[in-house]
Structure 1
Amino acid sequence: MVLPLGFHSDKPNQVCKLLRSLYGLKQASRQWNAKLTKALQENGYKQSTADPSLFTKASGNSFTALLIYVDDILVAGTSITHINELKHFLDKSFKIKDLGNINYFLGIEEVTTASGLNLSQRKYVLEILKESGFLEAKPAQTPATTGLQLTHSEGSLLEKPEIYRRLIGKLLYLTNTRPDISHIVQQLSQFVDKPTSTHLTAAHRVLRYLKGSPGKGIFYHSNSQFKLYGFSDSDWANCPESRKSVTGYCIYLGNNLISWRTKKQATVSKSSSEAEYRALASTVCEVQWLHYLLADLGIRLGMPASLFCDNQAAIATGENHVFHERTKHIEIDCHIVKQKVNERLIKLLPIPSQKQVADGFTKALPHPAFAIFQSKLGLHDLLSFHHFDLSKLQTRS
């Protein structure tokens, strides 16, 4: 607490009257972040350039990393001694509460076994189902009907649109551990301004799908290789109203899915090849960012990231240095693909459409294809005896 700038008084022992709680001020979070960042940097921690909420410190053979969300801090490291020193420093500086080994963080449940780490949001899913009245609903096999295309004109406007908006907001947060619903949630989120009964019915279908497997989450293998590769795809002119395409990609580190996205493209593409090339550009930017992030974590990848695309024309555009008439209308930023191919950051490889993992991020799939898509994402159910021996479950940092 400091006196306001420009305040002058000749009277001694004056105090400021607190008119509002510090938590009620807009600049409170920024001031707290600046204070915490300064304290960590003075203690030898380096702030990541790729993710400002990540702080790392390498000392000899030990490595410690902090991930910060406002005033919640997640600590991981190779030396328990250095972790204890950090906790003592933070407690001395800010009076922290040590919650011990991680098992629940920001609504995400964490369970470790000898084979790896599982992240899920089972409690969060059950809360959504209970609030929406779908705890006893009949489960659905897929989150969306095949070939689903939503528009603003279908159905009647909802009398209470805030119910739809609240539900979509919760489903958006759920995609942190459920990439299998990313596409349909992206589609539904386009109609939060004026939702209709048709949109609400489609959202209820997602709830019925979640009812069948509330405990599913992403499983990360502990013995995975440090090899980066990804899949890029697009659905040309997917939107029936704007005719814009949808970009979908997923990126793996070894066998572990670490990044994915479903997003409508900003401009209309004249061909499917152009739409695929724009999707490649988005994927390349993500790969570049992951390289920066891994470097901050002390991981250097010795080979280019393999990027699989099922469109030969898009691959040829990315590798061909000749300027063609049919590609001159494409924005300059899309040609980052060519630059990164030349820099050997990525290597473009063809893949059959039947084996394109990112296909499920661009369209609603039928049940057989969706089951294959889901299996390739590495989703496991904590309550399934096919993946875990429940007697051996344990939590640790």
Structure 2
Amino acid sequence: MIPPPGLHISIPGQVCKLEKFLYGLKQASRQWFAKLSSFLIKHNYKKCKGDHSLFVKWYSSISVAIVLVYVDDIILSGNNLSEINNLKSLLDAAFKIKDLGDLKFFLGFEIARNTAGISMNQRKYALEILSDCGMLGCKPSSTPMIHGSHLYQDDSAPYSDVDAYRRLVGRLIYLTNTRPYLTFSVHQLAQFMAIPTNLHYKAAIRILRYIKSSLAMGLFFPNNSIIQLKAYSDSDWASCPDTRRSISGYCIYLGNSLISWKSKKQKTVSRSSCEAEYRAMALTTCEITWLTYLLEDLQFSFSKVTLLYCDNQSSIHIASNPFFHERTKHIELDCHTVREQYAGHIKLLPISTNLQFADALTKALGPKDYNTIHSKLGLIDICAPTCEGY
């Protein structure tokens, strides 16, 4: 490793030889989590079944303390302030923690809150990406991809610096944690990590130019949302030029807050648009099931069924039809997945294509559509001068 400042080096270019891992053995992270978990469980915290890094302690039906763990970074939340202060004292006695106060910055996420709700963005992280790529002075783009385009394995010259391309795509993937509208574009880039071409790198540069136009854009969680899950499922049939596979996309809301989204290429080729839409519905249903388990661990009671919107009437009819026929024999497994939840947990509803929120996760839209999709996905730019509530 590079010699630390203050260490005298007699020969220029010398480095320090690492005799032992700085943080112990290779299993240090696993052993650390096991120790922290046992400590929290010892103090009556319960590990959630839906997410093992989430610990909850209930004192009554309305009093709760919540601990979210990411390696050695911990977020404490809840409505029992005395228990939170008590836990901080116990953690400090056992592990010597550093209290950073109210949550404002965490793993690249910038958190701001006011009386209307909580905003979360990655403005600083986006600026770092642009700076490292020398794009701080670039001209902003109105869209992350050309309208209606799809990347493919073209025969243009391979990009010279493959490692730089992979690093850039990896950083863009992390940026999609607060920018769901970039998910489809970054998903397209991630398919060509092995042999990227100059065309793929130009597509990545266009995404950076689009990020420049909305640096502080991020998620907003209003404090007046109702406790009901609603989801939007969509697919783009046979849209991959290389494999002719379809793209599935979904976005799931808790009340008015967007909490989960995904853009993924389907594993098999769908023979019809109806089949592609149904596979997308199965993917959405699995995510809804996991979120239901997670919210049940937090003792949220659902008085209303989950609403699942789909813009394909044939897929909705298949889900409600108890009989299989020729159009469904290739998707029997997905049929069972959706139908089991359709019995009482999920209600399928049709929706017009122009009101489909998941469109941005399955295809490249035009400038007007991207401007509209921001409000649909519950995104705000807290640095915009006309942003309401800030």
Partner of 1:325, secondary structure, is coil
Count of residues paired in the alignment = 372
Say if 2:295 is the partner of 1:326: no
Q: 2:81 — aligned with what?
A: 80
Are the equivalent residues in 2 in contact too, given 1:245–1:264 (CA < 8 A)? yes
Q: For 2:115, give the aligned amino acid.
A: A
Indicate whether 1:43 and 2:43 are aligned: yes
1:220-259 equivalences in 2 (<5 Å): 220-259=221-260
The residue type paired with residue 62 of structure 1 is S
**Mean alpha-carbon deviation: is it higher for 366-375 or for 253-262?**
366-375
**C-alpha distance in 1, partners of 2:374/2:383?**
17
Whole-Å separation in 2 of the counterparts to 1:360 and 1:85 = 45
1:382 positional shift: 1.3
Determine the structure 1 residue equivalent to 2:156.
Answer: 155
**Structure 1 outlier segments of 4+, above 4 Å:** none
Partner of 1:288: 289
Mean Cα displacement is larger for which, 205-214 or 379-388? Answer: 379-388
Residues 189 and 200, structure 2, Cα contact 8 Å, conserved in 1: yes
Q: Deviations over 1:223-272 (max 9, x none)?
A: 11112101000000010110110000001111110110000011111100
For residues 304 and 389 of structure 2, the distance between their equivalents in structure 1, rounded to whole angstroms, comes to 36
1:357 corresponding residue in structure 2? 357
SS in 2 for 1:192: coil
Matches within 5 A, 1:139-150: 139-150=140-151
C-alpha distance in 2, partners of 1:228/1:384? 29
Q: How does 1:136-285 map to 2 (within 5 A)?
A: 136-285=137-286
Shift of 1:375: 1.8
- Structure 1 residue 94: deviation in Å? 1.1
Q: Are the structure 2 counterparts of residues 262 and 287 from structure 1 closer, same or farther at C-alpha, using a change threshold of 3 Å?
A: same
Answer yes or no: is 1:374 the counterpart of 2:377.
no
| Preserved contact between residue 64 and residue 78 of structure 2 (Cα < 8 Å) | yes
Matching of residues 376-395 of structure 1 within 5 Å? 376-388=376-388
The alpha carbon displacement at 1:388 in A equals: 4.5
Instruction: Please list every run of 5 or more consecutive structure 2 residues that lacks an aligned counterpart in the other structure.
Output: 1-17
Deviation of 1:276 after TM superposition, in Å, equals 0.3
Amino acid at match of 2:175: L
The whole-number CA distance in structure 2 between the counterparts of 1:19 and 1:132 is: 35
2-side partners of 1:243 and 1:21: how far apart?
46
Q: The residue matched to 2:327 in structure 1 has which SS? A: helix
**Any conservation in 1 of the 2:319–2:335 contact (CA below 8 Å)?**
no
Confirm whether residue 52 of structure 1 aligns to residue 48 of structure 2: no
Query: Per-residue deviation at 1:48?
Result: 0.6
Runs of 5+ unmatched residues, structure 1: 1-17, 391-397
- Taking the aligned partners of 2:47 and 2:22, their CA distance within structure 1 comes to 26
User: Where does residue 110 of structure 1 map in the other structure?
Assistant: 111
Match of 1:11 in 2: none
Distance, in Å, in 2 between the alignment partners of 1:91 and 1:69 is: 17
How far did 1:62 drift? Answer: 1.6
Counterpart contact for 1:231–1:251, Cα < 8 Å:
yes
Is residue 374–residue 380 contact of structure 2 (8 Å, CA) maintained in 1?
Answer: no
Q: Does 332-341 or 350-359 show the bigger shift?
A: 332-341
SS in 2 for 1:225: coil
Q: Which one-letter code corresponds to 2:43 in the other structure?
A: N
How big is the shift at 1:329? 1.7
- Residue of structure 1 in register with 2:91 after alignment: 90
Does the 8 Å CA contact 2:120/2:218 hold for their aligned counterparts? Answer: yes
| Matches of 1:251 and 1:324, distance apart in 2 | 30
**In the aligned structure 2, how far is the partner of 1:213 from the partner of 1:106?**
20
Q: Distance in 1 between matches of 2:265 and 2:331?
A: 17
Output the amino acid matched with 1:206.
Answer: I
**TM-score in terms of structure 1 length:** 0.91
Identity of aligned residues (%): 50
Does structure 1 residue 31 correspond to structure 2 residue 12? no
Contact kept in structure 2, 1:357 and 1:373, CA below 8 Å: yes
C-alpha contact 1:234 1:248 (8 A) present in aligned 2: yes
| AA matched with 1:317 | I
Question: Which amino acid letter does the alignment assign opposite residue 305 of structure 1?
Answer: T
d(CA) in 1 for partners of 2:135, 2:155? 24
Q: CA deviation at 1:302?
A: 1.5
Q: 1:157–1:196: 8 Å Cα contact kept in structure 2?
A: yes
Contact 2:278/2:334, CA 8 A, preserved across alignment: no
Change (3 A) 1:334 1:166: farther
TM-score when normalising by structure 2: 0.93
Q: Quote how far apart the aligned CAs of 1:152 are.
A: 1.3
Q: Which whole-Å CA distance do the structure 2 matches of 1:129 and 1:24 have between them?
A: 35
The equivalent of 2:120 in structure 1 is 119
Aligned mates of 1:82, 1:24 — CA distance in 2:
32
- C-alpha separation in 1, matches of 2:21 and 2:133: 34
SS at match of 1:329: helix
What is the distance in 2 between the residues matched to 1:250 and 1:380?
17
